[in-house]
């Protein structure tokens, strides 16, 4: 069974440029999460999707970050414009539906460097 | 708000030794789940072990076991017969269900040959 796929693995951009990250969850997993992991810290949730609906985006900086999950499968996270403080690893995870589906499966992440 | 605290930023042991990583958490909920994730330099988060709060028996997975103390809100990970491949960042995490995981700050574990 294929795991969570993310691309690109690395991205280097200059500040004020836009950037986008892509995630393909495990087949059949309807819940998708985007986390940001700053250097030396644990991941923090940015947004959670149940199918196409963003059910928790309270930690997403909406002035510059946006996300979408068209058709309830793949998801894209965008930053525009990027700032120096956005340098981090962006992790995507997925899980099955339901209260018992507590285990989240993570992708390899995208390391973003903003210069 | 739920919080997870890992008080050991770094640990280092010799190969084949046993090591215990500490984790405490704070929640007002009675039903929840606790996890230990391993993150090697490749950045892939790998689930090591999970514990359901309603289960009194401590979870074990081969060389990995936990000491879950619900009243004390403590959830430590013991790695027996440590191996070089165990070198990684270890994160303790908490969730109430199919919602967000709340992670601790991590413990960098180094296994020396």
Q: How far apart are CA A4 and CA A24, in angstroms?
A: 6
Of B50, B99, B105, the CB nearest to A42: B105
For B104, the closest of A42, A101, A105 (CB atoms) is: A42
* Interface touch A31/B4, C-beta < 8 Å: no
CA distances from B16 to A57, B8, B79, B85 (A): 44, 20, 10, 11
Average pLDDT in the B42-48 region?
89
CB contact under 8 A, B98 and A42: no
Tell if the CB–CB gap between A43 and B45 is shorter than 8 Å.
yes
Share of chain B above pLDDT 90, in %: 76
Specify whether the CB–CB gap between A90 and A77 falls below 8 A.
yes
Instruction: Give the closest-approach CA distance of A10 to chain B in angstroms.
Output: 12
Give me the residue from A98, A102, A109 closest to B33, CB to CB. Answer: A102
For residue B4, the distance in angstroms to the closest alpha carbon of chain A comes to 10
Give the pLDDT of residue A101.
59
* pLDDT tens-digit series, residues A66-95: 999 988 899 999 999 999 999 999 999 999
Burial environment of residue A52 by CB neighbours within 10 A (0 to 12, 13 to 18, 19 or more) = middle
Residue-averaged pLDDT of chain B: 93
């Amino acid at each position: 069974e294929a795991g969570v796929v993310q691309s690109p693995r690395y991205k280097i951009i200059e500040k004020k440029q836009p950037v986008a990250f892509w995630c393909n969850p495990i087949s059949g997993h309807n819940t998708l999460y985007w986390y940001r992991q700053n250097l030396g810290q644990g991941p923090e949730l940015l947004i959670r999707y149940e199918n196409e609906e963003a059910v928790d985006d309270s930690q997403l900086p909406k002035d510059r970050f946006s996300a979408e999950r068209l058709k309830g499968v793949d998801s894209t996270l965008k930053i525009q414009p990027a700032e120096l403080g956005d340098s981090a690893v962006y992790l995507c995870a997925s899980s099955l539906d339901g209260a018992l589906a507590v285990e989240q499966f993570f992708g390899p992440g995208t390391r973003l460097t903003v210069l | 708000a739920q919080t997870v605290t890992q008080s050991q930023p770094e640990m280092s042991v010799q190969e084949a030794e046993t090591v215990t990583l500490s984790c405490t958490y704070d929640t007002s909920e009675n039903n929840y789940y606790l996890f230990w994730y391993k993150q090697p330099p490749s950045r892939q988060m790998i689930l090591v072990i999970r514990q359901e709060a309603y289960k009194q028996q401590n979870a074990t997975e081969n060389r990995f076991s936990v000491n879950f103390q619900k009243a004390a809100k403590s959830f430590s990970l013991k790695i027996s017969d440590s191996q070089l491949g165990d070198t990684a960042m270890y994160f303790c995490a908490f969730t109430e269900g199919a919602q967000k995981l709340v992670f601790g700050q991590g413990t960098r574990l180094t296994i020396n040959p």
